[in-house]
Homo-oligomer: A and B are copies of this chain.
Amino acid sequence: MTSAATPRAYRRLSVEDRRAQLIDTALQLFAHRAPEDVSLDDVAEAAGVSRPLVYRYFPGGKQQLYEAALRGAADVLEQCFAEPEEGPLMQRLSRALDRYLAFVVGHDAGFSALLQGGSVVETSRTSAIVDEVRRAAAEQILRHLGVTDPGPRLRMAVRMWITAVEAASLIWLDEGKDPSVEELRDWLVENLVVQLVTAAGRDEQIAEIVGYVLSLEEPGGVIPRLAQRILPLVEAASELG
């Protein structure tokens, strides 16, 4: 977009806007290439600015730019999770997942690179940013479930599900986005439901949550449809003895 600008046009942006533009440019480049393959030259060229200017904003070089981009991605992801506390819980979760998966699709290779280990630019600081996003997701889920003091099984179930979502996103990109994004979303929502239902028999708090989730469901919702679909299998399995 700005790469077609004249050499002097970039002087007009404020410091904050310029910084945001460079981070945004870096994120776009990371969408197609791993962070270690993106140079400050590439960012300067894509943003239509000089290399010294990029260095003025990110004197720490590539590593600083990468961390700023990751920070920016984390902020966007955390906004994805925000959802009003009303209506069936699984509809809220579906909407949050739609936003999250749109981010995944929009950033593709960059998303994989940001989340996956093995990046040469990965440090304890970048790991901390990724962990912060996971924690924010867990907090949102617990808030919607009305839980302030999660027990070990609930904490584990929620953390496991968040990791499963991350892993599923990476695997799904790796598998060429097959099945469709809508099916993936429904699968992930159902995954949380069945995981909680499975754990409900072993944990009083999770049993209460399952009751709460069911109480907010509407006819034709995710959970009734899922339950109707699996009921024959569950009945057959329970009759095995």
Please give the residue numbers on chain A whose beta carbons come within 8 Å of chain B beta carbons, in ascending order: 116-119, 122-124, 126-127, 152-153, 155-156, 159-160, 163-164, 167-168, 171-172, 175, 178-179, 183, 187, 190-191, 194-195, 197-202, 210, 214, 217-221, 223-224, 226-231, 233-241
Contacts and interface: CB of A to CB of B under 8 A. Distances in A.
B233 A200 contact: yes
A171 B156 contact: yes
Contacts of A119: 117
A178 B159 CA distance: 14
Contact of A224 (B126, B127, B195, B238): B238
A116 to B, nearest CB: 7
Oligomeric state, in copies: 2
Contacts of A221: 240-241
Contacts of A224: 237-241
Given A117-B119, A153-B179, 12 more contacts: A160-B171, A163-B163, A163-B167, A187-B198, A194-B194, A194-B197, A198-B226, A198-B230, A214-B240, A218-B240, A219-B241, A220-B241
A233 B172 CA distance: 30
Contacts of A220: 241
28 contacts: A116-B117, A117-B117, A117-B122, A118-B124, A156-B168, A156-B171, A159-B167, A160-B167, A160-B171, A164-B164, A187-B202, A194-B194, A194-B195, A194-B198, A198-B230, A201-B229, A201-B230, A214-B233, A214-B240, A218-B240, A219-B240, A221-B240, A223-B237, A223-B240, A224-B238, A227-B234, A227-B237, A227-B238
